[in-house]
Amino acid sequence: YLLEDELRDAVLLVFANKQDLPNAMAVSELTDKLGLQSLRSRTWYVQATCATQGTGLYEGLDWLSNELSKH
């Protein structure tokens, strides 16, 4: 769906949540599983987060805000 022409200018932010858990999938593994490397014509970012501790949330939203301000 991300390769649809209607989404050509869309940016993608993925929150890799629960990074405080020992079995949490690493950002690199999540990137591979989602096939994000193949989205060469899209702007995307994966932010490691732990919602219960509040880590990574603002960083991800800052990235999104910066990307949206470019368009």
Question: What residues form the annotated binding site?
Answer: 17-20
Binding positions for GTP are 17-20
Phi, psi values for residue 67, rounded to 5°: -65, -40
The DSSP result for 38-64, as a single string, is G-TTSEEEEEE-BTTTTBSHHHHHHHH
Token output for 5: 């022409």
